[in-house]
Amino acid sequence: MTVARAGSKWRTYIYDGGTAIATQTFDNPDDARAWERRMKRQLAAGIDVVGAVKQVQEWLPPFLEHRRNVVAASTLKRDEGICASLPAWLRAHRVCDVTPEVISRLIDSISGSPGTKQRTLITVAAFFSWLEGLAVVDRNPVRGIRIPGTNAIGAATNPFSWQEVKTIAPEGPYGDVIIVLAYTGLRWGELKALRARDVVIDDDGIATALRVRRSASDGFAEKELSGEKVREVPLMQRPALIISRRLRGLKPDDAVFAAPWGGPLNLSNMRRSVRWDEISGGRRIQDLHHTAAYEWLRKGVDVATVSAWLGHASVATTEAYLHLVSTDEERGLVAMLDECSAKP
């Protein structure tokens, strides 16, 4: 790498194997050297520096092509609209130069409701999560950005692991409910309101996704959902098989899940029947919803996609789960170090 005078400005050259792969011009030598040091760190970390110095607009088409294969059609349409409306000054930015300050400037420039800002933030977060996965950027600049008025995940959140859920779920209808809640992230009222016509089925008759449209909390009238809470959630194999089995003989408007005697689900009855207080280790039914978020993030699903699957209005709400993932990883490292230190 070289910093050289270029007329009244300063230019930094990034070399790989004797070939200049990137260059940047600055008004003063301090900024030029700071960028040089940053590029050195990124190269050492395995970051694709050639990709990192491309402009945002160069990466948008392949990002949308990637999204075409991983999100619902409605989400893709939203992403395409948001990408098309990004301001020219942001589209011209090199992706390596997009910082949290740049993201804050973007959010401030958006006119409209907090919901409009949140939807833009979700798509931009997905874009940089994808680039981070490709090792084009070393950090998602959206991480930590919050829209005023959004809610964070409570400190009492205590998810299960999917292995724990399989262990505690009893045989029978209530066991099916517990597993589906933990593997889909549906809330109790959303699962209770799920009808046969809300299930997406493939040509082989296997359930592949759930369309979440309503909620029916115990003791309250069923209500239609709106905004980001209306969503399509893909099904992994275990809940897909459960739901496919339960669909047999149902009419389109029949509830997918009902009480064992045929009436509507009731949370108090289920808790009593499965002895929830004994098997849950002090966790709440709501922690099954958190379990899906925790496991998806642990297995590498990007934050924006998890946010869409959970029906969060803001990706910042979903990011609050990241501390659970990092804490779990830290515990694993400590256990490994303890084991190593105990060896003679």
Q: Is residue 220 part of a domain?
A: yes
A 10 A CB-CB count for 286 gives: 16
List, for residues 196-206, the tens digit of each pLDDT value: 999 999 988 89
Q: Is residue 169 part of a domain?
A: yes
Q: Is residue 298 part of a domain?
A: yes
What domain range includes position 295?
Answer: 162-311
Do 177 and 74 reside in the same domain of the chain? no
List, for residues 311-343, the tens digit of each pLDDT value: 988 777 787 776 566 555 444 443 444 454 444
Q: Which two tokens stand for residue 261?
A: 């005697």
Rounded Cα distance, 97 and 99, in Å: 6
Q: Considering its fold, how many domains does the chain have in total? A: 3
Given a cut of 80, whether residue 22 has pLDDT beyond it is: no
Q: Measuring CA to CA, how many Å separate 299 from each of 49, 122, 186, 292?
A: 26, 19, 19, 11
Rounded Cα distance, 107 and 115, in Å: 11
Do 171 and 218 reside in the same domain of the chain? yes
Residues 252-280 as b/e (b if ≥16 CB within 10 A, e otherwise) read eeebbbbbeeeeebebebbeeebebeeeb
Q: Is residue 108 part of a domain?
A: yes
Q: Is residue 335 part of a domain?
A: no
User: How far is C-alpha 338 from the chain's CA centre?
Assistant: 32
Q: Is residue 147 part of a domain?
A: no
pTM value? Answer: 0.55
Cite the DSSP H helix spans in 1-153: 29-44, 49-52, 56-68, 73-85, 88-91, 100-109, 114-133
Do 185 and 307 reside in the same domain of the chain? yes
Do 266 and 200 reside in the same domain of the chain? yes
Do 223 and 292 reside in the same domain of the chain? yes
User: How far is C-alpha 45 from the chain's CA centre?
Assistant: 24
Do 166 and 258 reside in the same domain of the chain? yes
Q: Pick the residue with more confidence: 231 or 317?
A: 231
Q: Which two tokens stand for residue 264?
A: 């509507």
Q: Is residue 330 part of a domain?
A: no
